[in-house]
Amino acid sequence: MNSLLRRVTSEAAMALLCLALTFIFFHSAVFPRTKTFLYGDNMLQYYPWMHKLADDWRALAPPLWDFSVEAGFPFPGEWNTAAFYPINILYVWLTGIPTPVKLDLLILFHFAAAMWGMSLFLRQRGVERWPSLFGGAVFCWIGPVAFRASGQANIFVGLIYLPWILYFFELGLAAKNAWRNSWTGLAGLTLALSLLAGHPQPFIHNSLMLGLFAVFLLVEKRTPGLSWTINLWRAASALLTVAVIAFLFAYIQLASSHEYFARAYRWVGLANPVKGLQTVVPLEVYNRYSLSFPDLFSVITGRSGALDGGTLYITITALICACLGLGVPGTWRWFVLTITGFILLVALVGNTPFGWLAYRLPLLNMVREPVRILYLYQFCFAALAASGLQMALNGIPRRSGRFTIFVIVMSIFACEARQNGFPSLGPSTNSPLTVDQAYRKTPLITFLEERNREDPGMYRVLARPKDLIPPNSGDIFRLSTVLGYRSSMLIAYFDLLNRDWSFSSQAFDQVGARYVVTDKPSGDLTFLSSFNGLLLYERPAARPVFRWSGSPDQAAAGTIGLVKWQRNGVNLEVATNQPLKLTFAETNYPGWHVRINGVATAIDSPWPHFMSVTVPSGTSTVQWSYHPWWLVPGMCCWLIGMLFLLFTALPDRWHQLLTWKLRSQLGSFHNLFARHHARLSRAGKPTQSPR
């Protein structure tokens, strides 16, 4: 017991040390806070979506539908929202509505978790405490992993689970029952978290690395005296357990996203968007995000022409240590070098004769930007760097001397990473490109909110260009925008708008685009006001979100009263002197239900873009609600996954007791059924009369 307590205390101290070192390295995001991770996609997507997530989950309502963007969309269907990522849910429950400071801290906590997980994995591989910390820093303080933190936080969060997955899997494979132990179960859970964090790319690459690592362990950890078949079965059964648990926890995200992308375009910023389930982009787009041969020299120079953080730079200090690590005996170095070579071939894509193969590899070609796989290279070289530092420290006899050398090496590495690596932190918090400035409540936003209060949710705002106001600002302020900011869009909505993008478009009339924010004068619109160089116009032809269909005379026969918007639905009072069709200019999407005066009513399907329902004459209460089919099964899968984890964590004697109890109950049920069947047989047997 004392030994266990010492191990727990020692590991807790390591976790706190990783947190402290992370805060010191990224001090400008903490105190004094002069820089931030929240710019670019983090400003336009991560920050407003975390607001939406916090607002709903803190009210104990899952965020299922977002009314504030476009004509509404299923919030969890878009991967990047991370609507069911448990860490986000727990964080907003504990800390409240997100602020820039809170989200910067959340990102830093994930940096510390990445460093700690890498340290655990390296110590499992035989590296000592201080070199393992150095390996953890090399893994996440610089290069592709750190770049993703300020580029797309949801991808970064998924990347940090790689060392945890491999650490838990190696422990699980070494257990007595490789398929039934808590470590293997935790490997499945962390793999699922890398998907729930908000992007499929880390999940795909983490799964690839896990499969390759399992093959390596099959060779390295082969039990003497056992046949290859038995060892292969152990590895396969452990991978199967990981896959089952990962599927159970990730099912809710997989189901919601599959339903969404079956009806959406992906990469709508391209000249020709592809359908969501058509997961492979055109080859010319795929090659655009690749390494070139001159970019290979970035491992020394730190300069790379590749887009989206495509660099091999891990500092000269870490590179020297990694070269030393090649001298460590064993098969681990050859595995790492083999993986690195494969990763570079994938990242180079069309620049090598094997480019066509990388583009056609299943799963890997689902990732639009092949350079994103380079974080696996960074993981491999971080492991080599830790081994190299370990070998160097082994030559120093005194513990104090080894610690001094570690501090010197770590300090030099940190200085190099701060000066020469890709900047992990974004611009100053005073920059207009950051959350701190972009989401200030300006007079324009205040004016639009006042107009929205007059007609709650009945009209939408169109910005041209769309970045004149943050596209997803409806998740923070009380307004709705015609266009959002994400890589996908529902096909029906995109095709409707794509007919005519001019201000006089009838499509804009149908979606309720009443207010236009622009930086250029327009003589075709009604001018309302100007705000710091931005011009606000009104489109009088815009139709409200709720409206009567039919001729003007028919529409005049009905009135629409108070509209009450809820988190995943809306209620309104209407009155009409004849049956009329009520149109709801919200995306016609599976999962929507409507009740009129408490009675379930069918939604009219002929309308391709929006929803409508026929309302009887008189005063009626119309209740629209969104309840997708996958929500209850997804929550049940979470529960089953937790029970499965609990089952794998039970000691063997508990497994034996539960098995005996189950067999006893099944035996009792069988005996009861047999006796009941015998009684029925006797009762149904004809009685023979005496002769």
DSSP 46: I
Pairing mode, if any, of strands 558-565 and 592-596? unpaired
Q: Where are the domains of the chain?
A: 547-631
- Cα-flanking dihedrals φ and ψ of residue 428, to 5°? -60, 150
Q: Taking residues 526-547, what's their average pLDDT? A: 92
Beta bridge partners of 462: 516
pLDDT in tens, 559-598: 898 899 999 999 999 999 888 999 999 999 999 999 999 9
Q: May I ask the CATH architecture of the domain 547-631?
A: Sandwich (2.60)
DSSP 374: H
Q: Is the pLDDT of residue 306 over 90?
A: no
> Smallest Cα–Cα separation from 510: which of 496, 491, 524?
496
Q: Mapping DSSP to helix (H, G, I), strand (E, B) and coil, where does residue 264 land?
A: strand
CB 115 within 8 A of CB 140: yes
Tell me, what's the pLDDT at 674? 66
Residue 133 makes CB contacts below 8 A (sequence gap 6+) with: 14, 17, 18, 21, 115, 119, 406, 410
Q: What is the mean pLDDT of the chain?
A: 87
Calpha distance 686→132 (Å, rounded): 82
Q: Is the pLDDT of residue 516 over 70?
A: yes
Q: Taking residues 192-218, what's their average pLDDT? A: 93
Q: Is the pLDDT of residue 671 over 70?
A: no
Q: Is the pLDDT of residue 373 over 50?
A: yes
Beta bridge partners of 274: 266
Token pair, residue 573, equals 């009072």
pLDDT in tens, 635-649: 999 999 998 888 877
- In this predicted model, which residue has the larger pLDDT, 33 or 406? 406
pLDDT in tens, 179-196: 888 899 999 999 999 999
Q: Taking residues 621-633, what's their average pLDDT? A: 95
Cis peptide before 32, with omega less than 30 degrees from 0? yes
Half-sphere exposure of 489 (CA within 13 A, CB side): 22
Q: Mapping DSSP to helix (H, G, I), strand (E, B) and coil, where does residue 615 land?
A: strand
- Provide the residue type at 145 as one letter: V
CB 350 within 8 A of CB 292: no
Calpha distance 407→130 (Å, rounded): 9
pLDDT in tens, 448-466: 999 999 888 889 999 988 8
Beta bridge partners of 572: 563, 622
pLDDT in tens, 69-107: 998 999 999 989 999 999 999 999 999 999 999 999 999
If phi over 0 gives left and psi between -120 and 50 gives alpha, with beta otherwise, what is residue 513? beta
Q: Is the pLDDT of residue 418 over 60?
A: yes
pLDDT over 70 percentage in the chain:
90
Q: Is the pLDDT of residue 217 over 50?
A: yes
Calpha distance 192→243 (Å, rounded): 9
pTM of the model: 0.90
pLDDT in tens, 140-159: 999 889 988 988 899 999 99
DSSP H helices, 395-530, are 399-420, 435-438, 443-454, 491-497, 506-510
Across 277-286, 324-333, 642-651, the highest mean pLDDT is recorded for 324-333
The band of 687, judged by pLDDT with boundaries at 50, 70 and 90, is: very low
Token pair, residue 632, equals 């209850």
Residue whose pair of structure tokens reads 């959002």 in the numeric block: 484
Calpha distance 180→237 (Å, rounded): 9
The band of 658, judged by pLDDT with boundaries at 50, 70 and 90, is: low
Q: Is the pLDDT of residue 479 over 80?
A: yes
